[in-house]
Chain A
Amino acid sequence: NAGVTQTPKFRVLKTGQSMTLLCAQDMNHEYMYWYRQDPGMGLRLIHYSVGEGTTAKGEVPDGYNVSRLKKQNFLLGLESAAPSQTSVYFCASSSFGSPGSTYEQYFGPGTRLTVT
């Protein structure tokens, strides 16, 4: 099992450009999440999905859009990148909280994005 994978690993954008980050998981998890990590602020939730075709806003959703057309994939889009979106982005997945579930999230390796 590859677990959670993210592409690309690194990206540099100019202000105003757009891009899509791809997250894939092979654990058949229902829940998926996108976070951004900034120094001294821990990880903050951008958007999440509780199943195929669903998305919901997290703590810091402005400037981002997401889609989950397939259960195993969760895409994060930046329509018009800004320097404030320079960050490390992590995707995670988690199983449904049924009996025996252990609730933890499994994380991908991250994407380092720089917006100039």
Chain B
Amino acid sequence: AQSVTQLGSHVSVSEGALVLLRCNYSSSVPPYLFWYVQYPNQGLQLLLKYTSAATLVKGINGFEAEFKKSETSFHLTKPSAHMSDAAEYFCAVITGGYNKLIFGAGTRLAVHP
């Protein structure tokens, strides 16, 4: 069965610093992977997705993620954090057909001046 693990429930960075949010998955089939962002009191918004094309995926707001099959990872990065990036980030993998998703527990990103 597929599963997702996000390392670190809270990450804090300075404005302008590198953002690295970690996601590891387990899947018995080639995975479709997603990163979603949730701003306070809002729904989830898709940041980027991997659907077996290029392994380096670029998303919105300057975020990107690299699919590494050998490490079963799909870490999210952004070279320079902005205050507006403060949010909760979820990694997810499609499981069992019908586009059903399994989500990680989430990582809350804080950005301080």
Q: Which residues of A contact B (CB under 8 A)?
A: 4, 31, 33, 40-45, 48, 50, 58, 90, 92, 94, 97, 102-110
**What is the 8 Å Cβ interface bit string for chain B, positions 33-74, against chain A (1 contact, 0 not)?**
010100001111110010100000000000000000000000
Give chain B interface residues in 81-101, CB to chain A under 8 Å.
90, 94, 98-101
Q: Does B90 lie within 8 Å of A43, measured CB to CB?
A: yes
Q: Does A104 lie within 8 Å of B105, measured CB to CB?
A: no
Q: Which residues of B contact A (CB under 8 A)?
A: 4, 9, 32, 34, 36, 41-46, 49, 51, 90, 94, 98-101, 103-106
Expressed in whole angstroms, the minimum distance between the Cβ of B54 and any Cβ of chain A is 14
Q: Which residues of A contact B41 (CB under 8 A)?
A: 110
Q: Which residues of B contact A41 (CB under 8 A)?
A: 105
Expressed in whole angstroms, the minimum distance between the Cβ of A38 and any Cβ of chain B is 10
CA distance A42 to B104 in the complex (A): 6
User: Which of A40, A58, A107, A108 contacts B100, CB < 8 Å?
Assistant: A58
Known: A42-B90, A102-B51, A103-B32. A33 touches B105 (CB 8 A): no
Residue of A nearest to B44 (CB): A107
Q: Which residues of A contact B43 (CB under 8 A)?
A: 4, 90, 107-110
Q: Does A43 lie within 8 Å of B103, measured CB to CB?
A: yes
Q: List 23 A-B contacts (CB under 8 A).
A: A31-B98, A42-B103, A42-B105, A42-B106, A43-B44, A43-B101, A43-B103, A45-B101, A90-B43, A90-B44, A92-B44, A94-B99, A97-B98, A103-B49, A103-B51, A103-B99, A104-B34, A104-B99, A107-B44, A107-B45, A110-B41, A110-B42, A110-B43
